[in-house]
Amino acid sequence: MPISLNMPSLKLAHLSDLHLDMSRESDASAASLVKALATQDVDHVVVTGDLTHRGSNAEFQRFREHFAPWMDTGRLTFIPGNHDRPGEDVGSRFMEGRKVHTVEKAGLFMVCVDSTGDHNRNYFSSHGELTEQVVEQVEVALSAAPRQSLVAVLLHHHVLPLPLESFPEWIATKVGLPHASELALGKKLLERVGGKCDLVLHGHRHIPHEMDLGTPGERQLRMFNSGSSTDLGRFRVFSHMAGRLVDEPTWCHASEPAKPRTAVHNVRPALQYLVGQLGMALF
């Protein structure tokens, strides 16, 4: 169906890796993002994991308080990240135990994927988990997508290799630990969703990336890593109409400058853990 110039476009905002930790800094960053969302007249918001920093109920309650305007009106979709699984494991309840489920809104169809695993209960085992069964479930879920809706697959962990972002990640890679690795079946997932969806949205890595994966079918497939919205102080907004993107996604900046925290605040414990793992491997 041709797109009518009189049809209003809808706006989808993509945030990720908020790492709310009950500090004044994270509160200020979250409040600034919420204020920016309101100025953009966003129709729906997605947060692709790591809402909390230690997986506590108190941190998740703080997220609920900040994002109440969207949560209370059914305009918010979120999935768990590895940081939502330690502590009180609040992330295990985000999708009610399901690994894949769908959310349908006006002009928007989302396939939500839980890419975390039980190993994420260990604070430093941050890599994701994707099984053949989950990949099949995603493909089946996409078959129900309405033709005139923008179709997005949401997951936390990165699907393809991305540049290393920190010294601990570099050490983990050199030692052969999986912490910084992409999803083992990530490439297969992209092959199976190609032509059936428009966007793959994820987080986990705190520096944003985007990739055009071509047009494997009737739909162009693009992948976007949000980065850490609180550290960056910004998020992408996708305008869409009749199941297609309208122009390029734009960055919306928060009203207050961000105070980067998450890239460095765990360097010491991470190094201690990696040294211990290296010692076990050698001896």
DSSP per position, 122-169:
STT-------HHHHHHHHHHHTT--TTSEEEEE-SS-SS-----SHHH
> Do 154 and 202 meet the contact criterion of CB atoms below 8 Å apart?
yes
Longest dimension (CA), the chain: 69
pLDDT of residue 1: 40
Asked whether residue 238 carries a pLDDT value surpassing 80, the answer given is: yes
pLDDT of residue 279: 46
Average pLDDT over residues 45-54: 98
Q: What is the mean pLDDT of the chain?
A: 90
> Do 230 and 19 meet the contact criterion of CB atoms below 8 Å apart?
yes
Average pLDDT over residues 191-204: 97
Asked whether residue 283 carries a pLDDT value surpassing 80, the answer given is: no
Asked whether residue 282 carries a pLDDT value surpassing 90, the answer given is: no
Task: Name the amino acid, one letter, at 75.
Answer: R
pLDDT of residue 67: 98
Helices 167-175 and 267-282: crossing angle in degrees, nearest 10, is 10
Band of the pLDDT at 26, cuts 50, 70, 90?
Answer: very high
Asked whether residue 261 carries a pLDDT value surpassing 90, the answer given is: no
Band of the pLDDT at 255, cuts 50, 70, 90?
Answer: confident
Within 10 A of 69 (CB to CB), how many other CB atoms are there?
Answer: 13
Average pLDDT over residues 222-233: 97
* pLDDT tens digits along 115-134: 999 999 998 899 999 999 99
More confident residue, 257 or 102: 102
Percentage of the chain exceeding pLDDT 70: 88
Band of the pLDDT at 105, cuts 50, 70, 90?
Answer: very high
Q: Which domains does the chain have, with CATH numbers?
A: 10-282 (3.60.21.10)
The C-alpha atoms of residue 80 and residue 156 are separated, in whole angstroms, by 7
Buried b (16+ CB within 10 A) or exposed e, 17-44: bbbbbeeeebbbbbebbbebbeeeebbb
